[in-house]
């Protein structure tokens, strides 16, 4: 179980991938301080090398130190981007396993969360970031379903999602298993490495942003050929934002078309357009925790990784 995060807890804010916008970062840190949290600002927040927030060694060492530091209760990422896959071999997974605490973020942070679950069996939270949602006026829905899980005193968190005007149920049924997933392109890139978790019996969740339909097709084909979809118990398809193609010969094909190619006739429960992804309005998804997807009832129930 993860270390509890309550007002008064200490949160380390870091930039494991790209550098954050300075103004949004300041606003996000102010937001957390207003909620009563103590903040430790990582070196990566102001570091720079190539297009990264510091060197691979700096960013990896910072993560290791955050988990080793007994004063730090949780690690919140400022933003995503690209670059965490470069240094997965530099992380101290034994220290992470011995000091379980929440790593919060999404997008490229998916890579870290999957690796930490695979190597250390420590869950994390795919949720809002400090220099993105928290630094831009976080929406009430996002806030509710992030802090509602973080500060939950019950053993489970239940989310009744909207199947009337938002989420589509593509295949009914009930699935149980560990929640595993995140940004589709990052999941696909992790395949074939020692840092990709075994998805057997899991509920897979996927989303992406700014990828043309043919690229989404490419990532899904890779997962399909790797046998991923034969091993999962259920699937949550989140938001696929700005995933269009302006090329005239391809503009008529939508992401929805591609997704239905792969998941329109499967035997496990599937929901589409679940409120999770790169949009400002998002339900936070805990990575590695046990969950139940009741597609017929439009309910996702997740185990509380902070419950003690």
| Tens digit of each residue's pLDDT (9 = 90 or more) over 227-245 | 999 999 999 999 999 999 9
Which CATH number does the domain housing residue 76 bear? 3.40.50.10740
Same domain, 164 and 290: yes
Same domain, 49 and 88: yes
Q: Record the tokens describing residue 198, joined without a space.
A: 């075994």
Domain span including residue 113 = 10-138
* Within-domain flag for 275: yes
Same domain, 132 and 160: no
How would you class 91 by CB atoms within 10 Å of its CB: exposed for 0-12, middle for 13-18, buried for 19 or more?
buried
- Per-residue pLDDT 10s for the chain (308 aa) are 899 999 999 999 999 999 999 999 999 999 999 999 999 999 999 999 999 999 999 999 999 999 999 999 999 999 999 999 999 999 999 999 999 999 999 999 999 999 999 999 999 999 999 999 999 999 999 999 999 999 999 999 999 999 989 999 999 999 999 999 999 999 999 999 999 999 999 999 999 999 999 999 999 999 999 999 999 999 999 999 999 999 999 999 999 999 999 999 999 999 999 999 999 999 999 999 999 999 999 999 999 999 97
For 272, list phi and psi in degrees, rounded to 5. Answer: -125, 145
Contact 144, 267 (CB under 8 A): no
Give the closest residue to 7 by CA, choosing from 29, 30, 34, 36.
36
| Mean pLDDT score of the chain | 97
Catalytic residues, which ones? 107, 207, 278
pLDDT tens digit sequence for 245-299: 999 999 999 999 999 999 999 999 999 999 999 999 999 999 999 999 999 999 9
Same domain, 97 and 199: no
Q: What CA–CA distance (Å, rounded) separates 211 from 75?
A: 28
Q: What is residue 62's DSSP assignment?
A: H
* Domain count within the chain: 2
Percent composition of the chain: helix, strand, coil (DSSP 3-state, to 5): 30, 25, 45
Same domain, 221 and 257: yes
Q: What CA–CA distance (Å, rounded) separates 72 from 9?
A: 8
E strand or H helix that includes residue 91:
none
CA distances, 77 to each of 108, 126, 131, 152, 178 (Å):
10, 10, 8, 21, 23
Same domain, 201 and 234: yes
Q: What CA–CA distance (Å, rounded) separates 288 from 281?
A: 22
How would you class 7 by CB atoms within 10 Å of its CB: exposed for 0-12, middle for 13-18, buried for 19 or more?
exposed
* Within-domain flag for 194: yes
Same domain, 241 and 181: yes
Contacts of 299 (CB under 8 A, 6+ apart): 158, 159, 160, 161, 292, 293
Which CATH number does the domain housing residue 292 bear? 3.50.30.60
pLDDT on residue 308: 73
Write down which residue in 104, 138, 172 finishes a domain: 138
* Within-domain flag for 150: no
Q: What CA–CA distance (Å, rounded) separates 9 from 211?
A: 38
Q: What CA–CA distance (Å, rounded) separates 131 from 24?
A: 5
Q: Alpha helices of the chain — where are they, by DSSP H?
A: 22-34, 56-68, 93-98, 109-120, 140-150, 184-190, 213-225, 228-231, 255-263
Same domain, 75 and 168: no
Write down which residue in 75, 107, 138 finishes a domain: 138
């Amino acid at each position: 179980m993860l270390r509890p995060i309550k007002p008064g807890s200490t949160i380390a804010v870091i930039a494991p991938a790209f550098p954050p916008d300075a103004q949004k970062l300041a606003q996000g840190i102010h937001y957390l301080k207003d909620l009563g949290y103590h903040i430790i600002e990582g070196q990566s927040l102001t570091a720079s090398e190539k297009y990264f927030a510091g060197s691979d060694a700096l960013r990896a060492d910072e993560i290791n130190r955050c988990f080793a530091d007994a004063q730090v209760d949780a690690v919140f990422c400022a933003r995503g981007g690209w670059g965490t896959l470069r240094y997965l071999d530099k992380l101290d997974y034994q220290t992470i396993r011995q000091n379980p605490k929440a790593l919060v973020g999404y997008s490229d942070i998916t890579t870290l969360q999957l690796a930490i679950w695979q190597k250390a069996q420590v869950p994390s939270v795919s949720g809002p970031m400090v220099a993105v949602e928290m630094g831009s006026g976080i929406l009430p829905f996002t806030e509710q379903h992030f802090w509602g899980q973080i500060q939950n005193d019950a053993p489970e968190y239940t989310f009744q999602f909207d199947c009337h005007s938002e989420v589509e149920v593509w295949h009914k049924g009930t699935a149980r298993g560990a929640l595993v997933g995140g940004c589709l392109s990052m999941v696909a890139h992790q395949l074939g490495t020692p840092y990709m978790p075994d998805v057997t019996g899991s509920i897979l969740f996927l989303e992406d942003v700014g990828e043309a339909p043919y690229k989404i097709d490419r990532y899904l084909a890779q997962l399909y050929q790797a046998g991923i979809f034969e091993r999962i118990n259920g699937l949550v398809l989140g938001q696929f934002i700005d995933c269009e193609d302006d090329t005239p010969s391809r503009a008529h094909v939508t992401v929805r078309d591609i997704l239905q190619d792969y998941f329109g006739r499967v035997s496990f429960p599937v929901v589409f357009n679940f409120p999770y992804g790169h949009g400002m309005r998002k339900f936070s998804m805990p990575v590695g925790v046990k969950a139940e997807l009741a597609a017929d009832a439009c309910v996702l129930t997740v185990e509380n990784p902070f419950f003690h």
